[in-house]
Amino acid sequence: MKKFRGITTLRFRAAAALALTLLQASSFSVHAETTGLAAIKSYLVGKVTTMHKASHDFVTNAAAYEKIVKASGGDYNQAVLKDGDELLGLITKMQGDYRAIHNTGYETIEGIVAGVKPLVDFDTYLDAGVPKSEASTDSPASPLVLKSADGKTIVDHNGNLFHYVMEPALWGTRAVYVRPLSPEASAKAKGIKVVPRADVLAAASLECARKIDELLAASQRWQPTLDECVGALVWMTPTLNGYFEDWKDSRYNPNAALGRYVAESRVVDMRGIMFSLQLSYKAIMPEIAKKDAALARKLEQDYASILSFIDKVEAREKRGNKLTVQEIEEMAYQAKAMTDQLVPRLKQVVAILSLKLPPKPILA
Partner 1 sequence: MRTPFYRHFGAFLAILAVTLGSAMADLTDDFTALQLRMNDTLLDVYAGEKIPPENTPAQGLKTLRGGLASDAAKAVIDRASAQAERQNVARQTGAARGAMQHVAALEMLRAQAVGQAAEARAWRACIALPKYANAVDGAMLLQQADIQHVKQPGVSRVLAREYISWQVMRARQLFDFLEQGVANGEATDAFVDAYSAEILSLTAFPAEILKTADLPATTQALPDHPALSAPFESEANQSALAQWRQNVEATLPNLLDPTDVTRLERLLVRFVKLVPREYRNGVHDGHITIMLEYREAKQFTEQSQALTNELAPVWRRDRTEAFTAHHQSLHEGLEALAMRIRRLAPPEAVEESAKKVQSLLEDEFQLSARRAGAKGDVIEETAIEVRTALIDSLAAAKADQWEEAESLRLDAYTSFDSEIEVRVLPRNSELGRRTERSFLDGTGHEPGIKALLDRHAPIEELTAGYERTLAALDESVGLLKVAVSPATITFTTFSIVAREGLEAVVVLAALLAGLRGAANAGTRRWISSGAWLALVASGITFWLSKTLIQSLARYGEKLEAVVSILAVIILLMVTNWVFHKFYWVGWNAKLRSLSKASQQNVSTRWEWLALLGVGFLTVYREGFETTLFMQSLLLEGSPKPVALGVLAAGAFIGLLGLAIFKFGAKLPYRKLLVVTGVLVVSIMVTFLGSTVRLFQTVGWIPIHPIEWLSLPAWTGVWLGLYPSWEGLLIPPLALVYVGGAWLWVRFQSRRSDAPAPRVEQPEKEVHSLAA
Residues contributing to the site for partner 1 (CB under 8 A): 1-7, 10, 13-14, 16-18, 20-21, 135-138, 291-295, 297-298, 301, 305, 312, 316, 321, 323-327, 329-331, 333-334, 337, 340-341, 344-345, 347-348, 351-352, 356, 359, 363-364
Residues whose CB falls within 8 Å of the CB of residue 277, separated by 6 or more in sequence, listed in order: 111, 232, 233, 236, 237, 240, 303
CA distance linking residue 224 with residue 127, whole number of Å: 22
Neighbouring C-alpha atoms within 13 Å toward the C-beta of 210: 10
In 3-state terms, what secondary structure has residue 6?
coil
For the CB of residue 254, give the shortest distance to partner 1 in the complex, in Å.
19
Long-range contacts made by residues 305-311, C-beta under 8 angstroms, separation at least 24? Answer: 305/338, 306/240, 306/274, 306/335, 306/338, 306/339, 307/271, 307/274, 307/275, 307/278, 309/334, 309/335, 309/338, 310/267, 310/270, 310/271, 310/274
On whether the CB atoms of residues 170 and 16 are closer than 8 A, the answer is no
Measured from the CB atom, the residue of 180 and 238 that comes closer to partner 1 is 238
Measured from the CB atom, the residue of 88 and 295 that comes closer to partner 1 is 295
Measured from the CB atom, the residue of 219 and 237 that comes closer to partner 1 is 237
For the CB of residue 322, give the shortest distance to partner 1 in the complex, in Å.
10
Measured from the CB atom, the residue of 223 and 326 that comes closer to partner 1 is 326
Cβ neighbours of 62 (radius 10 Å): 27
* Residue 142 DSSP label: P
On whether the CB atoms of residues 203 and 148 are closer than 8 A, the answer is yes
For the CB of residue 175, give the shortest distance to partner 1 in the complex, in Å.
29
Measured from the CB atom, the residue of 32 and 364 that comes closer to partner 1 is 364
For the CB of residue 22, give the shortest distance to partner 1 in the complex, in Å.
10
E runs forming strands in 235-318: none
For the CB of residue 281, give the shortest distance to partner 1 in the complex, in Å.
15
Measured from the CB atom, the residue of 78 and 341 that comes closer to partner 1 is 341
Measured from the CB atom, the residue of 16 and 32 that comes closer to partner 1 is 16
For the CB of residue 274, give the shortest distance to partner 1 in the complex, in Å.
16
For the CB of residue 31, give the shortest distance to partner 1 in the complex, in Å.
22
CA distance linking residue 246 with residue 273, whole number of Å: 14
Measured in whole angstroms, how far is the alpha carbon of residue 90 from the centre of its chain? 24
